[in-house]
Amino acid sequence: MGDSPRAKPWLILMLAVAAVALAACGDDDADKAGTPAAGEAGTGADEAREPILIKTHVAFLDHPKGETMTAGEVLPGSTIGDSPFCPGGKFGDRHGEPPLGLVVKAIRCPGGRLTITFSPTQRSLKQSAAWEIVNGSGRYEGLSGGGRMKAEFESKAGEGREVFTGAVK
């Protein structure tokens, strides 16, 4: 086959048509296969997930064995979905052992208990980490999920605030 001047325009036109046809067959929603964008409803199991927000006031306590422990209360404004989470709740933290995180937080609420775990990596007055639910009882039995936490302390032996955000089902 020789290269005639008429063959090149047809070849270019055929390649352009093929490219347009392939683009038209593409999946416009391919990016939705992962995490839905903000404001979009999830699909399948994601539809049952609800946002969770847990705000706490935490204080360092001296433990009889010489360890420093933390305890505190769940603050107003904490929610699961549109409902208040654990009004008047209290919690205590303990050191976790594998496979749990470094901190195990047992939150005692009216009508149930929720235990979460996390491992902050910053050894400073500001900390953050991923967190997850490890157990629930009462109204929180069977609850699963997790998210991110941030904490800010006044001093190494003082008080602070924690904020846990995420999703549960």
Residue 130 inside a domain? The answer is yes
Flag whether pLDDT at 84 surpasses 50.
yes
* Residue 13 confidence class, pLDDT cut points 50, 70, 90: very low
Its domain, for residue 58, covers: 49-168
Domain assignment present for 139: yes
- With respect to residue 125, please indicate whether it lies within any of the assigned structural domains: yes
Is 152 part of any domain? yes
Sheet strands (E) in 38-158: 50-62, 68-74, 79-80, 83-84, 90-95, 103-109, 112-118, 126-138, 145-153
Indicate whether 142 belongs to any domain: yes
pLDDT value at position 157? 72
Residue 164 forms part of a structural domain: yes
Residue 9 included in any domain: no
Nearest CA among 82, 81, 134 for reference residue 103:
134
Mean pLDDT of 138-159: 92
**Domain total of the chain:** 1
The residue with tokens 């001093």 is 155
pLDDT of 155 > 50? The answer is yes
CB within 8 A of 11, min separation 6: which ones?
none
Residue type (1 letter), 130: A
Query: Percent of the chain beyond pLDDT 90?
Result: 56
**Does the residue 90 lie in any domain?**
yes
